[in-house]
Amino acid sequence: MLELKLNGIKKYMEATLVVKDVSLEVYEGDKVGIVGANGSGKSTILKLIAGIEPMNYYPGYPQTSSHGYDEGLIHMSRGATTAYLEQSPVYPKGVKVSDVLNLAFEEIDRVEKQMRELEEQMTFLQEDELQWALTKYSDLTQLFEVKGGYEREEKMSRVCTGLQLTESFLEREFDLLSGGEKTTVILGKLLIHEPDILLLDEPTNHLDMESIEWLEGYLKSYKGMVIIVSHDRYFLDNVVTKIMEIEDMSSISYKGNYSAFISQKEENMRIQYEHFREQQKRIHRMEKTVLSLRDWAMRADNTKFFKRAASVQKKLDKMDRIDKPVFDRRNMRLDVRATERSGNETIKAVGLSKRYENKKIFNNTDVMIRFGERVGLLGPNGSGKTTFLKMLMGEERPDEGVLEFGANVKAAYLPQNIAFNNEEVTVLDCFREDLSIHEGKAREYLAKFMFYKGTVFKKVKHLSGGERIRLKLAMLLFQDTNLLILDEPTNHLDIDSIETLEEALEDFGGTIFFISHDRYFINRMAERILAVEDYSLRSYHGNYDEYKSEIERIQSLKERKGSVDDESKNPFRKSEVINEEMILAKVLKKIERLENDLREIDLAMETGHIEYDELINLYSRKLDVVKELDAEMELWLRYSE
């Protein structure tokens, strides 16, 4: 069985200690997730396993391996192959996407070339030489089969279909692709190659939801080892069987997926705290005993008490102290408050149409997002999600129709690709650029976003992806706003920062409209999903899991409908139709009741003599009825199709 073991790994990057004690055991078939704060050394561990990190050498310092670490041991089975997902791969100009993918078959191509050469030689070889060639050819044929030579086309087709790499995309020049597209191609190459140890650094970045879900299924059935660095908690829950957390430059491993890790860690911290408390009580008693013995020794001038005090003190000094667990680590401390509320209609699209040359994006689309809603926009890459945001923010114009904000909307927009007016200035100067705020107050506010002490003087151009998001969030949330528009807000944030952001957004009193591939984030934040379907936006009430259940139900219903050719020959089909008619009748009846309720509320609100509190209650009731009516109308539309 293949195995990989890391024991006591210590690693410096130049003069900076990155990790000091990392240990991990992985066996064939294991799927391991590595988690930890940004900069904790997660990617460094992957590069060490892959042999990418160079060896550091310090005169007089013991060297135990040529693998690129400074202390400890990395052991893997003899002959085991590794492959690492690069985030910024480079290939010569003119190389096509298909050429890059076919690099996964280099070894197969080499074996096949040897086979062809032997075939040519065997046409004129005789006796012993021919026998040797036949034996060699048999070995090569077996190796060709073991390496998957006969499954080449099937492998290529399966991966290209799963990652949505079309025929036209395969012919594009690799050098001209975007960063995300390049990463997706390299991921495809690794999956086709199928190494014994697959090392993936943020593999879900740049993939749409459909591709992520395909990748989950692929990795779950992967025969080799898979080690993943990811902040996608939903992905980790669905794929990994073990979690290694790097914290304070050391590692702890947990069995199970991400949710199991969280549960185990909380229990471990609770137990550690109990042991810490008990030890502190014992230490306090022993310290008190030492003081008492010394006091008695002084009073009685008795050396016996001094010796006993020294003996107790010696035990104290040798005691292995239990660290107090840190329940609340330093992280973003966001305080997100909405300014005065906007009108009920926050975002409105009527007859929206948009196309680029021959590509249709939206066609006669209507959308309504009301005050206080949390709405997630989902759809495949290239379906028009970012185009919708650009039209909403006025960066692009629709071909037909209207897309606009409602009355008194004060919007704050966090784009996916964050840019600042001047990258040469410091974090502090960038934040204060258009604000009249004292430096002390600015630094106090920036500290909530983890810009402490000297980090506020760091130049913007040197910020990491996560730091850029934190700075942009600080600038946006300092303003008065009642609508947050977020484009992939969890990209580049570590899990702790994502969870802090989620907690802050839950306290926000305004409207939130966002695009995200983070299904964990969508589940926690979304009350409604807008999905790009057939050049329009279709509304689904609930979070991501509820949306997926509804999609599966609709798909199942369509499949059952399509599987019956002759309705009259199938009694189950008749009962299904009757059942749908009954549901439609109930829905129509409820719609009629809700419309009557709405008319009654409107009449009551129009009454001249009405108390303010009662008016507020009526308005709140009206919003609830309108939301419920929308849901029933959506249901009616689905069953009417």
Q: What is the mean pLDDT of residues 69-97?
A: 83
Q: How many CB atoms lie within 10 A of CB 211?
A: 20
| Confidence (pLDDT) at 241 | 95
Number of domains in the chain: 5
Whether 399 maps to a domain, the answer reads yes
- The secondary structure of the chain in percent helix, strand, coil, rounded to multiples of 5, reads 50, 20, 30
Are 11 and 144 part of one and the same domain? no
| Confidence (pLDDT) at 479 | 81
Are 310 and 430 part of one and the same domain? no
Are 5 and 74 part of one and the same domain? yes
| Confidence (pLDDT) at 59 | 38
pTM exceeds 0.85, yes or no:
no
User: Cα(408)–Cα(531) distance, rounded to whole angstroms?
Assistant: 27
**Digit-coded pLDDT (tens) for 380-390:** 887 889 899 99
Least confident of 68-82, 93-107, 412-426, 427-441: 68-82
**Digit-coded pLDDT (tens) for 236-275:** 999 999 999 999 899 999 999 999 999 998 888 888 888 8
Are 358 and 391 part of one and the same domain? yes
Whether 214 maps to a domain, the answer reads yes
For residue 229, give the 3-state DSSP assignment.
strand
Q: How many CB atoms lie within 10 A of CB 357?
A: 5
pLDDT interval class at 357 (50, 70, 90): confident
Domain that holds residue 350: 345-552
Whether 330 maps to a domain, the answer reads no
Mean of the per-residue pLDDT values of the chain: 84
Sheet arrangement for strand 345-356: 359-370, 345-356, 400-405
Are 454 and 529 part of one and the same domain? yes
**Digit-coded pLDDT (tens) for 402-430:** 999 998 999 989 888 788 888 889 999 99
| Confidence (pLDDT) at 38 | 80
Are 503 and 574 part of one and the same domain? no
For the ranges 121-130, 180-189, 360-369, the maximum mean pLDDT occurs at: 360-369
Are 458 and 355 part of one and the same domain? yes
Among the three residues 216, 238, 256, which one is the final residue of a domain in this structure? 256
Are 515 and 469 part of one and the same domain? yes
| Confidence (pLDDT) at 361 | 92
pLDDT interval class at 60 (50, 70, 90): very low
* Ranges assigned E (strand) in 47-114: 71-76, 82-84
**Digit-coded pLDDT (tens) for 225-243:** 999 999 999 999 999 999 9
| Confidence (pLDDT) at 295 | 85
> Three-state SS string across 428-495, please?
HHHHHCCCCCCHHHHHHHHHCCCCCHHHHHCEHHHCCHHHHHHHHHHHHHCCCCCEEEEECCCCCCCH
Whether 186 maps to a domain, the answer reads no
Are 359 and 448 part of one and the same domain? yes
Are 22 and 170 part of one and the same domain? no
| Confidence (pLDDT) at 576 | 45
Contacts of 636 (CB under 8 A, 6+ apart): 584, 587, 588, 591
| Confidence (pLDDT) at 330 | 56
Q: Are 53 and 69 in contact (CB under 8 A)?
A: yes
Q: What is the mean pLDDT of residues 462-476?
A: 82
| Confidence (pLDDT) at 577 | 46
Are 431 and 499 part of one and the same domain? yes
Taking 50 as the threshold, does the pLDDT of residue 573 lie above it? Answer: no
**Digit-coded pLDDT (tens) for 343-354:** 888 999 999 999
Are 590 and 631 part of one and the same domain? yes
